[in-house]
Amino acid sequence: MASLGDRAAAKMFAISLVWMLGATMAQSIQLPCPHCNTEASGFVLIHWYRHPTIGNVRVVLECNVCHEPIIAAYPGGGVEEWTNGVRKVFPSEVRQLWVAPIPKIAVAPNGVPDNIASLYAQAMSSFQRQHYDAAGPLFRRIMETSIKKLHPAGKGSLYERIENLPDGIGVTQTMKKWAHRVRIIGRDAAHDEDPMTPDEVKDMQRFVEIFLVYAFEMPARLPTEITKADPPDGH
């Protein structure tokens, strides 16, 4: 049986081991970065404390990609085993209460179908990180998918599909011009060996966004807006 001294020594050894592991393997968590727009950057725990009156835990974290900090709040209790190094993996059940700065997550205009919204989020993520050669083809694909959604019976090339959008589905001549602009920039880029320029992709982003607003967001809003504006019966 180990003596009291042996046990104390073993405990000291265990504590120092945990401390050494803690020093070499910093606590980290994957979060979107508001500074460099990396979607899931490893953030390293720099400092934490328990708020003396509220009891929630505040953490200061450093982005592994750009080394800028964020501050986040988590409920007391759940997160402290992680902040003090006992638990290596961040407890997934713990919900973040707030974070500053707030990451810029690009959201597609309202009313946009889910598959197009998902493409839009991917395109904007590449766009914000200045990965223009990744963003450009995605913006073109969003336009193509939107045209197909608006007129599934359309056939032929993207040019023909845009031109043959029927009257009565709410697509104006101006919207067709925006669609063609995106098509042409995307087509030229596909035939060009040079990388896409920021201006080309910014144009695509602007035309895609306004097209989505006119094609999906405004029609989705109209019925409720009109209902609200309806005069009461009999007037």
Q: Binding segment for Zn ion among 60-68, 178-186, 195-203, 219-227 (CB under 5 A)?
A: 60-68
Say how far apart CA 131 and CA 196 lie, in whole Å.
9
Which of 44, 46, 60, 65 binds Zn ion (CB under 5 A)? It is: 65
Alpha carbon distance, N-terminus to C-terminus of the chain: 95
- Does 134 contact Zn ion by CB under 5 A? no
What secondary structure does DSSP assign to 20-50, as a single string?
HHHHHS--EEEE--TTT--TTEEEEEEEEEE
Q: Binding segment for Zn ion among 63-71, 129-137, 203-211, 214-222 (CB under 5 A)?
A: 63-71
Closer residue to Zn ion in complex, CB, 34/109: 34
Q: How far is the CB of 35 from Zn ion (least distance, A)?
A: 4
Q: How far is the CB of 102 from Zn ion (least distance, A)?
A: 14
Which of 44, 46, 60, 66 binds Zn ion (CB under 5 A)? It is: 66
In contact, 27 and 97? CB cutoff 8 Å: no
Return the exposure string of 64-89: e unless at least 16 CB atoms fall within 10 Å of the residue's CB, then b. Answer: beeeebbebbbeeeebbebbebeeee
Which of 29, 33, 61, 70 binds Zn ion (CB under 5 A)? It is: 33
Which of 22, 28, 36, 214 binds Zn ion (CB under 5 A)? It is: 36
Closer residue to Zn ion in complex, CB, 39/203: 39
- Nearest one of 191, 203, 193 to 136, comparing CA atoms: 203
Phi, psi (degrees; rounded to nearest 5) at 31: -145, 160
Q: How far is the CB of 66 from Zn ion (least distance, A)?
A: 3
Residues lying near Zn ion in the complex (CB under 5 A) are found at 33, 35-36, 63, 65-66
